[in-house]
Amino acid sequence: MPDTSTPSVDPAAADLVAGMARVIGLELPDICLPGVIAGVEALQMHLGVLDAAEAEDRR
Amino acid sequence: MSIADIARGVASGQVSATALAEAALRRMRGEGREIAAATRVLDARALAKAAEVDALVAAGANPGPLAGVPFGVKDLFDVAGLPTTAGAAMLRDAPPAARDAEAIRLLEAAGAVLVATLNMDEFAYGFATINAAFGTTQNPHDRSRIAGGSSGGSAAAVAAGLVPFSLGSDTNGSIRVPAALCGIYGLKPTHEALPMDGVYPFVDSFDDIGPFATRVADLKRVWDVLGGRADAGSGMRVARLGGWFARNVCDELVQGVDAIAAHLGGVDTVALPQVDAARSAAFLMTAAEGGARHLPELRKRPLEFDPQTRDRLIAGAMLPASGYFAAEAFRARFRRAAEALFARYDVLIAPAAGEVAPRIDNPMITVDGKRVPARAQLGIFTQPLSFIGLPVITVPLYRPGKLPLGVQLVGKPGGEASLFALAEALEAARITGVSLPESGAMLGPKGDAVDAG
């Protein structure tokens, strides 16, 4: 039998991401949670790089 | 055999376009399917077009500069009468395209013969051509390795000798990365230099189309037919990019760039500032625009997407507008920095991908000492450049018998003439050049234009 269970994720991160998804009209299926959380973390990392560059420009 | 030789052979009646099409169709049905490069083989259409070309030749008319030359297109170009899938299973039954993409129309008006649509990452979101619906495109040099993406089917089809040229699209590196990993030439032109009509979009502000080929002259011939115009001169002041572009690069690739520099009598090493932020800004804009484009379908049927694409698109759709605008503002600053560099140089040299093609069973690369997924990270050297619309030709280091490595020749907007000139010089010096894998010799170095069998 294939494993169709949802991989475990940090409940707080899952709640946050599900809430963000609802804001844009998306009911997030549980199966998407790990990938979407990873995707949001990647975006956060890139926003941090951009912030650092802007701070460098202001100096 | 070059595209010019093939077209001459057809125009002179030495070989028929129909024979060439039949051979290319056989190759696409065989190796094209085996390596998951071909998604649809267009027998009836190709044979009808080839018959038209042969009729022109028989009537003494000029069949065009691409007479009888078979080609394939990434599965995001509209082909009249077929759904445009963009590599997505959910679009297999979409309404058929009413007409061909403008690029296909131009190529066929010049006598070329479309024989297949070619595999890609779903919605062009990836650097690996690992597609849950249409399969993982295998690298013709080593079938246990990826071909790169997202135009992996287009690159693999040319590298395997199935067709002399193909078309792909490039938003963040989707022509340049697979060209490098498959060891062929690929052109990502100046933004908006080639027609995008009838091409399924991904990120409008930096989507472009371009050709793959095994010779610089072939690449240029297709560029000319597509209406490519280079208006920024053909200067040859060359520098190599250091900093970001000198890290995460394997030793053999560094040696290859050294050889190019030595051939040119030594070149300056220069740095673009804040390339890491440029890559991040490109990443953010891609995620946001891609997510916004697909949000209506993500709401309706998320489980019909390729999971690896879907989750990244959903995350992108949730990016706050402030993040998108910050990325856009940074792009303007980064473009000015590049313009300052191009006041002093015409061509900049940089790696295209830092290492050889990753294995399919472990598609990871090493960045800053960490193993990271190739699908999202193979574009670290390409994303910051297309993000500001620069033209780039990826050239393959000439290294027969070894896995391919590729180098980017980067020009100023409208600077394609400089890129073609440098690429031709490096090819003539045998510093760069294509060495086709033995399995794909049908359009190989010995020049057989049709099946030996």
Q: Mind listing the pLDDT tens digit for each residue in B132-154?
A: 999 999 999 999 999 999 999 99
Closest CA to B331 of B372, B287, B277: B277
* End-to-end Cα, chain B, rounded Å: 18
Q: What is the pLDDT of residue B438?
A: 66
* B326 CA: distance to closest CA in chain A (Å): 8
Strand ranges inside B120-275, DSSP E = 130-131, 135-136, 138-139, 142-146, 165-170, 185-188, 208-213, 238-241, 268-270
Q: Residue B161 in 3-state DSSP?
A: coil
Token pair in block for residue B440: 């794909």
- Polymer length of chain A: 59
DSSP label of B319: S
Give me the residues paired with residue B85 across strands.
Answer: none
Q: What is the pLDDT of residue B439?
A: 54
Contacts of A19 in chain B (CB under 8 A): none
Biggest alpha carbon–alpha carbon distance for chain B: 63
Q: Closest chain B residue to A34 measured between Cα atoms?
A: B311
Per-residue pLDDT band at A6 (split at 50, 70, 90): low
Half-sphere exposure of B124 (CA within 13 A, CB side): 33
CB atoms within 10 A of CB B62: 10
Burial state string for B214-242 with b = 16 or more CB within 10 A and e = fewer than 16? bbbbbbbbbbebbebebebeebeebbbbe
Give, for B159, the enclosing helix (H) or strand (E).
Answer: helix B152-159
Return d(Cα B78, Cα B74) in angstroms, integer: 10
Token pair in block for residue B154: 């287009």
For the stretch B4-21, pLDDT in tens is: 999 999 999 999 999 999
CB atoms within 10 A of CB B245: 26
Residue of B122, B280, B303 to mutate, testing the A interface (most A Cβ within 10 Å of its Cβ):
B280
Q: Which of B151, B154, B166, B174 is catalytic?
A: B174
Q: Give the pLDDT mean for A4-16.
A: 79
Half-sphere exposure of B107 (CA within 13 A, CB side): 32
Q: Which of B16, B150, B418, B435 is catalytic?
A: B150
Q: Give the pLDDT mean for B258-277.
A: 97
Question: What number of C-beta contacts closer than 8 Å exist between A and B?
Answer: 90
Q: Give the pLDDT mean for B47-56.
A: 98
Confirm whether B150 is a catalytic residue: yes
For the stretch B74-102, pLDDT in tens is: 999 999 999 999 999 999 999 999 999 99
Return d(Cα B377, Cα B198) in angstroms, integer: 28
For the stretch B283-331, pLDDT in tens is: 999 999 999 999 999 999 999 999 989 999 999 999 999 999 999 999 9
Q: What is the pLDDT of residue B446?
A: 33
Confirm whether B402 is a catalytic residue: no
Confirm whether B74 is a catalytic residue: yes
Mean pLDDT of all residues in chain B? 95
Burial state string for B10-36 with b = 16 or more CB within 10 A and e = fewer than 16? bbeeebbbbbbbbbbbbbbeebbeebb
Q: Phi, psi at residue B86, to the nearest 5°?
A: 50, 30
Q: Is the pLDDT of residue B450 over 60?
A: no
Closest CA to B413 of B361, B306, B336, B328: B336
Interface membership of A16 toward B (CB under 8 Å): no
Q: Closest chain A residue to B274 measured between Cα atoms?
A: A53
CB atoms within 10 A of CB B300: 10
Token pair in block for residue B223: 């560029």
Quick check: B154 and B74 in contact, CB under 8 A? yes
Q: Give the pLDDT mean for B54-72.
A: 98
pTM score, whole prediction: 0.94
Report ipTM for this prediction.
0.91
Strands B406-411 and B130-131, by their bridges, are unpaired
Neighbour-count burial of B98, counting CB atoms closer than 10 A to its CB (0-12 exposed, 13-18 middle, 19+ buried): exposed
Q: Give the pLDDT mean for B424-435.
A: 96
Q: How far is CA B87 from the centre of its chain?
A: 15
Strands B130-131 and B185-188, by their bridges, are unpaired
Q: Give the pLDDT mean for B160-173.
A: 98
Q: Output the domain CATH number for residue B423.
A: 3.90.1300.10
Residue B342 vs residue B452, higher pLDDT: B342
Strand ranges inside B160-289, DSSP E = 165-170, 185-188, 208-213, 238-241, 268-270
Q: What is the pLDDT of residue A7?
A: 63
For the stretch B334-383, pLDDT in tens is: 999 999 999 999 999 999 999 999 999 999 999 999 999 998 899 999 99
Task: List the alpha helices (DSSP H) in B226-269.
Answer: 251-263
Contacts of B389 (CB under 8 A, 6+ apart): B190, B191, B192, B206, B335, B413
> Phi-psi region for residue B213, left (φ > 0), alpha (ψ -120 to 50) or beta?
beta
Q: Closest chain B residue to A20 measured between Cα atoms?
A: B318
Return d(Cα B180, Cα A41) in angstroms, integer: 29
Q: Specify the amino acid at residue B31.
A: E
> Phi-psi region for residue B430, left (φ > 0), alpha (ψ -120 to 50) or beta?
left
For the stretch B172-226, pLDDT in tens is: 999 999 999 999 999 999 999 999 999 999 999 999 999 999 999 999 999 999 9
Q: What is the pLDDT of residue B426?
A: 98
Q: Do B280 and A42 touch (CB under 8 A)?
A: no
Omega before residue B418 within 30° of 0, cis: no
Q: How many helices (H) and strands (E) does chain A have?
A: 2, 0
Domain range for B320 is: 3-451
What residues 19-38 of chain A have any CB closer than 8 A to a CB of chain B? 20-21, 23-26, 28-29, 31-32, 34-36, 38
CA dihedral B371, B380, B382, B312 (to 10 degrees): 80
Q: Specify the amino acid at residue B407.
A: V
The total number of structural domains in chain B stands at 1
Q: Closest chain B residue to A50 measured between Cα atoms?
A: B277
Q: Do B284 and A29 touch (CB under 8 A)?
A: no
Quick check: B182 and B148 in contact, CB under 8 A? yes
Closest CA to B82 of B112, B116, B107, B108: B116
Closest CA to B121 of B86, B154, B94, B70: B86
- The proportion of chain B whose per-residue pLDDT surpasses 90, expressed as a percent, equals 93
Return d(Cα B74, Cα B131) in angstroms, integer: 13
